[in-house]
Amino acid sequence: MRLSGTWSISNGLIATLLFSTLTPAIELDLNDEQSIKDAASTSTYSMMGWYYGNETGQIPGSFPEKWWEGSALFLALLQYWHFTGDTTYNSLMSEGMQWQSGEEGDYMPSNYSSYLGNDDQMFWGLAAMMAAELKFPDVEDGFSWLSLAQGVFNTQTARWDTTTCGGGLRWQLFPYQSGYTMKNSVSNGGLFQLAARLARYTDDDKYSKWAEKIWDWSTSSPLVNNKTWNVADSTQMANDCADSGNYQWTYNYGAYLMGAVYMYNYTNGDEKWKKPVDGLLGKTLKTFFPNGDVIEDVTCEPIKMCNFNEILFKGLTSSWLAFTTLLAPDTAAQIKPKLASSAEAAAKSCTGNNNNTCGITWYQNKWDGTTGMEQEISATNVFLANLINYNTGSFGPVTSKTGGNSASDPNAGSENDDEKKMKPITTGDKAGASILTLIFVFGWAGAVAFMMLGG
């Protein structure tokens, strides 16, 4: 059925009215393992409708305008395979995650490296780390998953910046990027998490020392407050990180929570890490589940202004909450009911376009009129998160001592030679990067004002 040539997501309201009664939601019975798997299979299939990397003439794993989103897609696919056992997408995953790994095996491919942020590269590192931890087989004649995570760790720790604020990772890599003069939570929290996971997997204290260092710096900065457990989004180097941009995002909390919970597990339940786990978890559950216990990115959802990055945040965070229960079983009683109510609401949002398209404003319990790969990724993640209730014993991430055999290369990556990887910058690159930057620096309001005024 088509209304007219201009049919688009802006007609979302009409679409909601038309289809909400016609298309059944994704059926989800959380007491039935197969029902959860089926729901995840449906949303994963929709998600893959946006992936062309396995077709002739296309580039595996490539999303040119939003490179980091490939890592979000592969993170969802890895968990899809892990929790359901369905291998449909496995070869496409190996191919895409290798193709984008870059010339030196550190997720700095030269096509994109001139305008990446530390956070973009870091998410690919987390995907490689997850592949190792879930025992996704290494490929022959490629980089091992573990070495790719190590490559990202090595290149990023080499960028640790002590010129201002007593340390920290900048958001972006090059002086022509606006985010070069900021330090932000997802970059630092993400590297903290990667270090903690490498520590647990390899049992090499080089990584745990870095995790401690990043954590201590973060809590001494305005990014993480270790009394209130507020996690700010970013801080400016211009005034030596005296204040912060305090937009609240699920993934900033999740990035640090996962790092803390891996350190908690790695240290066999050390009190030093129990406090941050309890503190960050408590604040996360209190802040981001305001409507019917359904996870919500409260900064953008109520005003319907989530951009394509932001739609992914709560999906990533749902996965991290699920892994938190596996690594710190004490937390399960608090987390599981929230993952359940969130998944039920998400399933009810999947009535769009007459083809089970999922929305993002889950707490509305119906489709919100939006369509996209990002919506499908987040729905997939929250469905899969509920499979932790089945077979828990075998779902936890492994280490090199408990069955993980991805090959280690402690010197992976090219460390400090970012200069070499800078290709000549085209006007197009600059424009692309600075628009993204505007959105992040000034938030949605500033970005909208910018687009209305001049863009």
Q: Are 193 and 259 in contact (CB under 8 A)?
A: yes
- Is 49 within 8 Å of 104 (Cβ atoms)? no
Q: Could you say which of 245, 396, 432, 443 contacts ligand NAG (CB under 6 A)?
A: 396
DSSP annotation string for 287-352: HS-TBTTB---TTTTTTT---HHHHHHHHHHHHHHHHHHHHSGGGHHHHHHHHHHHHHHHHHT--B
| x/- letters, 131..170, toward ligand NAG (CB under 6 A) | ----------------------------------------
9 contacts ligand NAG (rule: CB under 6 A): no
Residue 59 lies near ligand NAG (rule: CB under 6 A)? yes
72: three-class secondary structure by DSSP: helix
To ligand NAG, the closest distance from the beta carbon of 253 in angstroms equals: 17
Q: What is the CA radius of gyration of the chain?
A: 21
CA gap 449, 222 in Å, rounded: 27
Contact 303, 368 (CB under 8 A): no
Residue 219, interface with ligand NAG (CB under 6 A)? yes
- Binding residue for ligand NAG (CB under 6 A) from 11, 23, 220, 291? 220
Three-class secondary structure of residue 187 per DSSP:
helix
CA dist list (Å): 407 to 123, 132, 330, 397: 20, 9, 32, 16
**Residue whose structure tokens are 């959802």:** 301
User: Contact region for ligand NAG (CB under 6 A) — 55-63, 116-124, 171-179, 418-426?
Assistant: 55-63
CB of 281 to ligand NAG, least distance (A): 14
Binding of ligand NAG by 21 (CB under 6 A): no
From candidates 327, 339, 340, 387, binder to ligand NAG by CB under 6 A? 327
**Sites for ligand NAG among residues 230-269 (CB under 6 A):** 265, 268-269
Give the CA diameter of the chain: 61
Interface region with ligand NAG, contact rule CB under 6 A, candidates 12-20, 53-61, 303-311, 403-411: 53-61
Choose the stretch contacting ligand NAG; rule: CB under 6 A; options: 14-22, 48-56, 135-143, 155-163.
Answer: 48-56
Q: Is 54 in the site for ligand NAG (CB under 6 A)?
A: yes
Question: Does 380 sit near ligand NAG (CB under 6 A)?
Answer: no
Lookup: tokens for 58 = 């296309």
**Dihedral sign computed on CA atoms, order 123, 312, 388, 139:** negative
Q: Which positions touch ligand NAG (CB under 6 A)? A: 46, 48-49, 51, 54-55, 59, 62, 92, 99-100, 109, 111, 216, 219-220, 226, 265, 268-269, 326-329, 353, 355, 357, 371, 396
